């Protein structure tokens, strides 16, 4: 092989080795950089997400109950809205949590299950009033928790979820109070 051709082959091999080494450095370096720059979700934010998820599941389940058992049209309509809005919010929260590495509960919490069980034993006006009162109380708490997360959450994605969802929850509270007045239940908590 001629010296000129051998130098050309050597340069080609050297160039290929250099390109390969640069590629490896970029890939490994990129993985290390992304692994070191991804911050764990602060406990306060993951706790908020888990409570919001469990609460949303409870709203859906109780909303289905109200849509089925309510004797007043306002109760039935509110229950259906809870199913629609909280299902949509739950899906958004699942997406955010998955991206942030937060594991959400698969069902509502024990207190909400007890409330569901209590409501499921009622009927007629008793159900309507108890459901309306529970929804006012629950949404007063929800609005406060979502305001807190929207104002001071440390994880940007979860904080944005809270901020985006808050106006809907505030509207739910307004509608829950109207429903409570309609069925003769306490509207303020």
Nearest by Cα to 58 from 148, 119, 143: 119
Share of the chain above pLDDT 70, in %: 79
In this predicted model, what pLDDT tens digit does every residue of 129-176 receive, in sequence order?
A: 999 999 999 999 999 999 999 999 999 999 999 999 999 999 999 999
In this predicted model, what pLDDT tens digit does every residue of 112-128 receive, in sequence order?
A: 999 999 999 999 999 99
In this predicted model, what pLDDT tens digit does every residue of 33-61 receive, in sequence order?
A: 433 336 789 999 999 999 999 999 999 99
Q: Which residues contact 81 (CB under 8 A, 6 or more apart)?
A: 63, 172, 175
d(CA 128, CA 73): 10
d(CA 84, CA 71): 20
In this predicted model, what pLDDT tens digit does every residue of 2-30 receive, in sequence order?
A: 555 555 555 665 555 555 555 545 555 44
d(CA 53, CA 48): 8
Q: Which residues contact 177 (CB under 8 A, 6 or more apart)?
A: 136, 187, 188
d(CA 32, CA 71): 59
User: Is 186's pLDDT higher than 60?
Assistant: yes
Res 36: pLDDT: 33
Taking the CA atoms of 101, 105, 57 and 138 in sequence, report the sign of the dihedral they define: negative
């Amino acid at each position: 092989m001629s010296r000129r051709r051998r130098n050309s082959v050597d340069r080609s091999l050297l160039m290929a080795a250099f390109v390969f080494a640069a590629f490896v450095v970029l890939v490994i370096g990129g993985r290390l950089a992304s692994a070191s720059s991804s911050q764990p979700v602060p406990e306060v934010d993951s706790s908020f997400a888990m409570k919001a998820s469990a609460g949303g599941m409870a709203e859906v389940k109780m909303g289905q109950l109200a849509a089925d058992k309510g004797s007043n049209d306002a109760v039935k309509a509110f229950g259906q809205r809870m199913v629609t809005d909280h299902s949509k919010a739950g899906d958004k929260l699942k997406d955010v949590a998955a991206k942030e590495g937060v594991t959400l509960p698969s069902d509502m919490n024990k207190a909400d299950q007890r409330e569901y069980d209590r409501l499921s034993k009622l009927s007629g006006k008793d159900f309507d009033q108890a459901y309306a009162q529970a929804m006012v109380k629950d949404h007063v708490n929800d609005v406060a928790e979502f305001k807190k997360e929207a104002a001071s959450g440390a994880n940007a994605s979860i904080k944005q979820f809270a901020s985006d969802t808050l106006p809907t929850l505030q509207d739910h509270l307004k509608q829950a109070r109207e429903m409570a007045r309609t069925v003769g239940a306490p509207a303020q908590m």
